[in-house]
């Protein structure tokens, strides 16, 4: 059973048909939608501020979601994939986004729908990622426009696959 810990009067709320790995940690003011998955060693720490996660979101192995006390919250919309060991901190991520493995997304970043943040990218505080773009590098910058083919082949495919993968553990 995952570590699900109450903090400051808040207990994490997990939506229908979700799967949370036995060694994942969920803390505090967290609300998660339907068909989400939280993978091995992932930490969602809503102790200092709220974290809201939409439907069909996957938080992959070793990822960390956190906020800044009294300043920033995390808001993640639907069909978002957070790659292995990514760090998501006090930001807003709209629907149909892929955050690559090991990426860092800092406070007050805003990632619009239908975008990719590449593996290893570092989005500095306050960065805005526009729809239909790919950001990569340190610090991350727009490297190209996201094609429909790449969108379907990566963003949509990965989100759907993680719903399937999590069903193997339910």
**This model's pTM is above 0.75:** yes
Number of structural domains in the chain: 1
The three-state DSSP-derived secondary structure of 68-82 is ECCCECEEECCCEEE
In CATH, what number is assigned to the domain containing residue 116?
A: 2.160.10.10
Element holding 164 (H helix, E strand): helix 157-167
Answer for the pair 3, 26: CB distance below 8 angstroms, yes or no.
yes
Answer for the pair 162, 38: CB distance below 8 angstroms, yes or no.
no
Structural domain boundaries enclosing 72 = 3-167
**Which residue, 14, 78, 90, is CA-closest to 49?**
90
> pLDDT for 79-112, tens place per residue?
999 999 999 999 999 999 999 999 999 999 999 9
Answer for the pair 97, 111: CB distance below 8 angstroms, yes or no.
yes
Q: Token pair of 167, please?
A: 């069903």
Mean pLDDT of the chain: 98
């Amino acid at each position: 059973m995952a570590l699900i810990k109450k903090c400051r009067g808040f207990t994490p709320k997990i939506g229908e048909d979700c799967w949370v790995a036995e060694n994942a940690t969920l803390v505090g003011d967290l609300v998660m939608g339907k068909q989400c998955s939280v993978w091995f060693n992932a930490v969602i720490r809503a102790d200092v501020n709220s974290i809201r996660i939409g439907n069909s979101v996957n938080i992959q192995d070793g990822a960390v979601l956190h906020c800044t006390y009294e300043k920033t919250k995390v808001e993640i919309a639907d069909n978002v994939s957070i790659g292995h060991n990514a760090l998501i901190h006090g930001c807003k991520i709209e629907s149909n986004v892929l955050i690559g493995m090991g990426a860092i997304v800092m406070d007050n970043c805003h990632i619009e729908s239908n975008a990719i943040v590449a593996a290893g990218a570092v989005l500095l505080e306050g960065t805005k990622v526009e729809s239909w773009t790919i950001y990569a590098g340190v610090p991350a910058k727009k490297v190209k426009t996201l094609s429909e083919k790449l969108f379907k082949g990566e963003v949509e495919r990965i989100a759907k696959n993680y719903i399937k993968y999590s069903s193997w553990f339910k």
